[in-house]
Amino acid sequence: MRAIVQRVSHAAVTVQGEVVGKIDRGLLVYAGVATGDGPEDVDYIANKVRHLRIFEDDADKMNLDVAQSGESVLVISNFTLLADARQGRRPAFTRAAEPDAADELYEQLCEKLRQLGLTVETGRFGAMMSVAAANNGPVNILLDSKRAF
């Protein structure tokens, strides 16, 4: 499982003109599920997202996590995080999990984040989504449950 975690001052996701998820300051998380991912991958990503210390404390140092800062999380499914663009010009998506398996693990990730005490908004799995966000920093963190980077 892979994720891009962005610290944002606000973010919203729209599907067919309807806002389906929206947060003010917090984390925008794009999550991609790979073939072979399971509950341990969900746990790894959820715990990393929950405990990343990327919000400023009173001394303007990145020492606080999302819960300590009292912020929310918007999680968007994104199979393109598994793209392989090393050859040619068209990315291959063969590492991405099949939709049914990916949807199940995406939902598990959202639920795990809620169990960890976070307020979680979501996009709509499999839909064509329009995401608007203001990156705060900018701060972008790449996560991979297989620790590829």
CB 41 within 8 A of CB 49: no
Mention the CATH class of domain 2-144: alpha beta
Note down pLDDT in tens along the chain; length 149 residues. Answer: 999 999 999 999 999 999 999 999 999 999 999 999 999 999 999 999 999 999 999 999 999 999 999 999 999 999 999 999 999 999 999 999 999 999 999 999 999 999 999 999 999 999 999 999 999 999 999 999 999 98
Q: Which of 75, 89, 97 is nearest to 27 (CA)?
A: 75
Give the pLDDT confidence score for residue 140 in this predicted structure. 98
Q: Which of 28, 117, 7 is nearest to 74 (CA)?
A: 28
**What would you report as the CA-atom Rg of the chain, rounded to the nearest whole angstrom?**
15
Per-residue pLDDT tens digits for 65-104: 999 999 999 999 999 999 999 999 999 999 999 999 999 9
**Per-domain residue ranges of the chain:** 2-144
